[in-house]
Structures are given as structure tokens and as C-alpha cells.
Structure 1
Amino acid sequence: MRILITNDDGARADGIKLLEEVARSITDDVWVVAPEFDQSGVSHSISLHEPLRVHQEGERRFLVRGTPADCVVLGVEHLLDRRPDLVLSGVNRGGNMADSIAYSGTVGAAMTALAVGVPAIALSQFFQGVDIHWETARVFAKPLIERLLEIDWERRVAPNVNFPACPPAEVTGVAVCHPGHGFIDGVRVEERVDVRGGSYYWLQFRRAKEPVDDPTCDIAQLWQNKITVTPLRPDRHGEGDWGGFEARFADLLRTGTAPDLS
């Protein structure tokens, strides 16, 4: 199996290093094509009006001065000597769930992979406060990816995986669920002035402090320390059973119980 890895936090981020370790425990044919700098929040954006610069760091590692979607397109269509069997995007620093899915470069890379005909999984490590429990993603990412690969799911669907903000021993289960709403409570605009007197602006999402009133959605499940798997299509979600994904996954994993991913 050939795996292409990318992310939106940048090629030197902790999460992509973790994901590369996980991928190499699955196959020795692993390629990394990732943004040179942090590209959080760019969604599916591709660069149409600027050239893309690529710096090679090793035999199968490329840094792209572009977006996660640029990285997927370059990797699949040009940099690799043959197409990958799977794209893994992440592991993102922070959750990609509910409203934030629309802005996520991590999810955008996975959706772009679908657009060029390659199955993809997006992975994120949710955190609250200052502690990021990377060990939770490290423990569960490989067995979860392997379980997902056992499913003959609709290839227009990309599983969006979020690991909860807790140590591995406190994970309470795995839930296939839908995106919630209300996680983003507006956007804060901060105006500053540069040394020449010109204004510039920083944008920052305001996060809702309380869980939404939908106990079955991804936000609520993450707050219950569950690993969430949200099947996404390019239309973000839609109706129905996502091409049989939920039923097939439930056959392999007891949804909502303590995770047995061995």
C-alpha cells in the first residue's frame, strides 16, 4: 500500500510527524507532501494565481509553499511516480468538527483527494486548555485506520476522525456520528496599527463554551471522551447512511462501547 500524507499545520508540525510514524507502521511506502508553513483555515483552497514552489527534503518528502489541497494535487498528479492508494491528512492540532469542518485545511485535503480519485481519511487531535494528548492519537490512529480500511465504503466519502481531549486510558468509545452546529460562536476581529500608521487585522473564531443540545453529534460525543468518526462527502454530509459506511463500520466495531481496536 502506498500512503500519501499531508496536513494544514505545516510539514514540521508535531501531528504530521506522529502520522508519519503511524503510516510507516502500516506500510514502508509512505510519501509526505505538506505545506511549508501553517495553512490552517484554508479549507479546499488551491493556488490558481500564484506559482507553487516545492522543496524536496529527502527521497519521499516534499515541502510545498501552498495549501493542503495544492499538496494533494501535486503529490497525486506529479510528484509521486505512481498514484497513492490512500491519503492521510493530519494529525491536526485541534479538533475539526461541527462548523469548523467548513474551514478546515485538514478536511480540505481529504476532500481534494476524493476529487482526484484517491480514498482519504482526515485525523485531528481535539484539545482543551494547554494540554494536547498526542498519545491518544498515537495509540488509536493505527488500529482505527486499519479498521476503516477493512470497510468497502463509498469512495465519495472521507471519514473525518477526531480523537478526544483526554489520555488514552480515559477514552470511552468510538462513535460514528454527524457534525454538530453551534461550535463557532462568531468571529473576533482585532485591529492593530503598524509602524507606518496603517491598520491590519487578526481574525479569531469564538468557540461556544457549552455543548450543543444534540447528544448524538460529534461535539457532544467528543465531550464524552469518545473517538468520533464522521463520514463526509464533498457536500459536507447530506442525508442517508453515507453509502453504507455506518452499517459496515458497526459490523467491525461496537459503536459507543469501550474501544477494542486491537
Structure 2
Amino acid sequence: MRILLTNDDGINAPGLYILEKIAAQLSDDIWICAPSEEQSGAGHSLTLTRPVRLRQHAERRFSVSGTPTDSVTMALKKIMPEPPDLILSGVNRGANLGDDVTYSGTVSAALEGALAGVRSIALSQVYSREGVGNAVDFSAAEEWGAKVLKPLLDTPFAPRTLVNVNFPPVAAGEVKGIRVARQGFHDYARGSVVEGTDPRGFPYYWFGLHGIEHTLGNNTDLEAIAGGFVSVTPLQIDLTHEGSLASLADRYLT
């Protein structure tokens, strides 16, 4: 089985090395193509206004001067001799839960794989943001990654779907198990914009992640993570709201 690894935290991110360890339990045919620098929050963006540079670090290890979507595109169209059987994106430093998936470069890399018809899975390690800095504990992802992935390898994926996996912010031995859960939602009205002044006296603004309310619901990914479980959520690329089609069509009848 040929596996492509990517992420949005960059080619040198600790989570990517964790993902390599996880993938090595599944195959020895592993390829890596990731952004050269961190691209968190890049979503499903594609670089169009400047050239994308490709750099080779080792036999099957590459980076691109672009987004996670660029990385997957370059891997599929320019780097790999044959398409991969599986694309794994992550392990992201931080949660990709609820409607955060719309911002996530990690999830979007898997989305790009799904669009190309490749079985694709995004993986993220949730952590407490208070005073953590770079010291994120990836032990839950490292210990539970292969356990989560192995049942998915021969599970049929519907066309244009992907799977989003999140590991709870606890030590590996404290993980309670795995839950398949639907996507939850956040209250972004409680988010913040942090204002400051740079050394030259000019104002700047930094989007804050604190204060966003987690709206827990029955069987959501947010609820699973809060309970100490690994969350596994199938996502579909088709965002059409079926229930609104008929009512909107009625508006245009003459």
C-alpha cells in the first residue's frame, strides 16, 4: 500500500514525524509532500498568483512553497510515479473539530485527496491552549493512530467523502476509546480579535481563539473529545442544503 503524508504545519512539524511513525505501522511505501512553512488556517486555498517551488529533502520527502492543497496536487501530478492508495494529513497541532474544518488546511489537504478519488483521512491532536507553547503532547495520536486507521483501510468510502479524526488532549493511557460522531458547531460570535502595537507604533490585529464557545450536542465530535474519546467523523464535500432547494426554486417561478 502506497501512502502519501502531508499536513498544514509544515515539513518540519513534530506532528508530521508522529504521522510517519503511525504510517510505518501500515506500510513501508511512504511518500511525503508538505508545505515548506506553516499554513494553518489556509483552508482549501490554491496558489495562483505566484509560482510554487518544489524542494526534495530525501528520496521520497518533498516540500512546496505553497498550501496544503498545493502539496497534494504536486504529489499527485508531479512527484509520485503512481497515485497513492491512501492520503493521511496531519497530525495537526491543535483541534479540527466542528465547523473549524472549513478553515483547516489539514482537513482541506484530505479534501483535495478525496476530490482526486483517493481514500483520505485527516488527523489532529487536540490540546489545551493555556500556556502550552510548543509543548504539545502527541502521545494519544501516536498510540491510537494506527488503531483508528486500520479499520478504515478496507471500509468503503462514498465518493467525494473523507474522514476527520481528532485525538483528545489527554495522555495515551487516559484515552477512553473511539467514537464515530457527527460534526459539531461553535459559537464564533464569542471569538476575539486581539489588538496590539508593533515596535514602530503601528497597530496590528491578531485573531484570537480564546472565548469561542463549544456547542456540545448528542454524538458530536466536540462531545466525544470532551469525554476523552478519539472522534471519527465522516465528511462530505457536497455542501448543498437539500432542504432549501425546493423553497429557493419556488422564488424564481413565474
What's the TM-score, normalizing by structure 2? 0.87
Deviation of 1:132 after TM superposition, in Å, equals 3.1
Alpha-carbon distance change, 207 to 98 in structure 1, aligned in 2, over 3 angstroms? farther
Partner of 1:212: 215
Distance in 2 between the 1:15 and 1:125 partners?
8
Q: Deviations over 1:9-58 (max 9, x none)?
A: 11111100110111122111101100011100011001011110111101
Q: How many residues align?
A: 238
Report the Cα offset of residue 192 of structure 1: 4.0
What is the CA–CA distance in structure 1 between the aligned matches of 2:29 and 2:236, rounded to whole Å?
A: 27
Given the superposition, is the C-alpha separation of residues 183 and 137 from structure 1 closer, same or farther in structure 2, using an over 3 Å criterion? farther
Partner of 2:93: 93
Q: Report what 1:168 is aligned to.
A: 172
Distance 1:132 1:156 in 2: 32
1:202 positional shift: 2.1
State the partner residue of 1:33.
Answer: 33
- RMSD of Structure 2 on Structure 1 (CA): 2.0
The alignment partner of 1:57 has SS state of strand
Q: Structure 1 pair 26/183, CA: closer, same or farther in 2 (3 Å)?
A: farther
Maintained 8 Å contact 1:89/1:122:
yes
- 2-structure distance, mates of 1:65, 1:222: 33
Check 1:108–1:14 CA distance in 2 against 1; reply closer, same or farther (3 A cut): same
Structure 2 gaps of 5+ residues are 243-254
Aligned to 2:17: 17
Instruction: List per-residue Cα deviations over 1:106-162 (Å, max 9, x = no partner).
Output: 001000111122110000011114363311111111121111112122142211000
Give the drift of 1:186. Answer: 4.0
Distance 1:227 1:148 in 2: 14
Aligned residues with identical type, % of pairs: 39
In structure 2, relative to structure 1, the CA distance for the partners of 1:237 and 1:17 (3 Å cut) is: farther
Instruction: Tell me which residue corresponds to 1:84.
Output: 84
Q: Look up the match of 2:236.
A: 233
Once the two structures are superposed, the pairs formed by residues 34-183 of structure 1 within 5 Å of their partners are: 34-128=34-128, 129=130, 130=132, 132-182=136-186
Which structure is larger by alpha-carbon Rg, 1 or 2?
Answer: 2
> Which whole-Å CA distance do the structure 2 matches of 1:230 and 1:204 have between them?
26
Matched-pair contact (CA < 8 Å) for 1:100–1:183: no
Contact 2:119 2:157 in 1 (8 A): no
TM-score of the superposed pair, with normalisation by structure 1: 0.84
Could you say what secondary structure the match of 2:33 adopts?
strand
SS at match of 2:193: strand
Per-residue displacement from partner, 1:40-93 (whole Å, max 9, x unpaired)?
001100101111011110111111110000000000111111111111000001
What CA distance in whole angstroms lies between the structure 1 residues aligned with 2:26 and 2:75? 20
Residues 236 and 162 of structure 1, relative CA distance in 2, 3 Å threshold: farther
In structure 2, do the counterparts of structure 1 residues 145 and 164 end up closer, same or farther at CA, with 3 Å as the change threshold?
Answer: same
Separation in 2 of the partners of 1:186 and 1:208?
5
Counterpart amino acid of residue 190 in structure 1:
V
Which whole-Å CA distance do the structure 1 matches of 2:25 and 2:62 have between them? Answer: 20
